[in-house]
Amino acid sequence: MRPDIKGIGGYIPSSFIDWEGHVSAVLFFRGCNFRCPFCHNGPMVMGQLPDLNEELIVEHIRSRKDFLDGVVISGGEPTLDPNRLKVLLSRFKDIGLPIKLDTNGSNPMVIEELLSRRLVDAIAMDVKAPWGKYDLLCGCTVDTNLLQRSLSLLLHLDLEVEIRTAFVPALMNYDDLSIIQSYLVENVRWVIQCFRPGNAMDETLKRTKEPEREVLREKFPSAIIR
Ligand code: SF4
């Protein structure tokens, strides 16, 4: 990640899809420490979107708090700027809104601190691949020990947790999904997100095929196919 890529690069005032059962405001942090070739948020990851005015966004959310069920903090990877993140989450807590964090799981120390300070009410973490294939799916060298620490922490939490896997047929197969499933505990909410080639950060992936949803439903009946 380039250290100068920080700040908020996107804001959705009302979303019905980023936190199940919630009408949420969504903030997207710029920058990411991964370079997943299938990422559909390239401009956010690469810092190609301007840094939005945080004060205006917080005040806009404050003015609409009675119409919102919560705030989703997404990215990019929000935990790369932990001090800014903690201040922002504290402000939303002061407003009285629950918070969901989307993370790639690479900063377990930050996640632990946010949990211990009760700054998040729900977490969605990506498990993108079997640990041995992570570098391929993330486009960089990944310390999977950190991811495993985050996952272990989340799987034993009394909190709303969602584990997400983007299924990219050109880079992984159904056996890979089975391995990922073996990392999880029973009853955890596992979402398999169907890769959409047209939005991929990597040009070559744009010409590859989409997942077959029906096959995924058959093979992984306990997963949510999105
Ligand atoms: S998919 Fe997520 S972790 Fe991967 S590059 Fe995009 S924002 Fe970062």
3-class DSSP string for 173-226: CHHHHHHHHHHCCCCCEEEEEECCHHHCCCHHHHHCCCCCHHHHHHHCCCCEEC
- Give me the domain span that covers residue 121: 8-225
Give the residues surrounding ligand 1 with Cβ less than 6 Å away: 32, 34-36, 39, 41, 45, 75-77, 104
- Evaluate whether residue 183 is within a structural domain: yes
* CA-wise closest residue to 160 among 112, 185, 124: 124
Ligand 1: which atom is nearest the Cα of residue 75? Answer: 7
- Evaluate whether residue 1 is within a structural domain: no
Residue 146 belongs to a domain with what CATH number? 3.20.20.70
What dihedral do alpha carbons 142, 39, 26, 112 form, nearest 10°? -10
> What number is the average pLDDT over the span 132-160?
95
What is the model's pLDDT at position 5? 76
What is the model's pLDDT at position 223? 97
Residue 140: pLDDT above 80? yes
Ligand 1: which atom is nearest the Cα of residue 42? Answer: 6
Residue 153: pLDDT above 80? yes
The residue that leads in pLDDT, 1 or 65, is 65
- Evaluate whether residue 200 is within a structural domain: yes
Would you state the structure tokens that stand for residue 17, as one six-digit string?
Answer: 């899809």
What's the total number of domains in the chain?
Answer: 1
Contact status, residue 30 vs residue 44, Cβ threshold 8 Å: yes
Average pLDDT, the chain: 95
pLDDT above 90 covers a percentage of the chain that reads 89
- Evaluate whether residue 194 is within a structural domain: yes
Residue 169: pLDDT above 70? yes
Positive/negative CA dihedral, 107, 110, 113, 118: negative
What is the model's pLDDT at position 2? 62
- Evaluate whether residue 157 is within a structural domain: yes
- Evaluate whether residue 3 is within a structural domain: no
Residue 3: pLDDT above 90? no
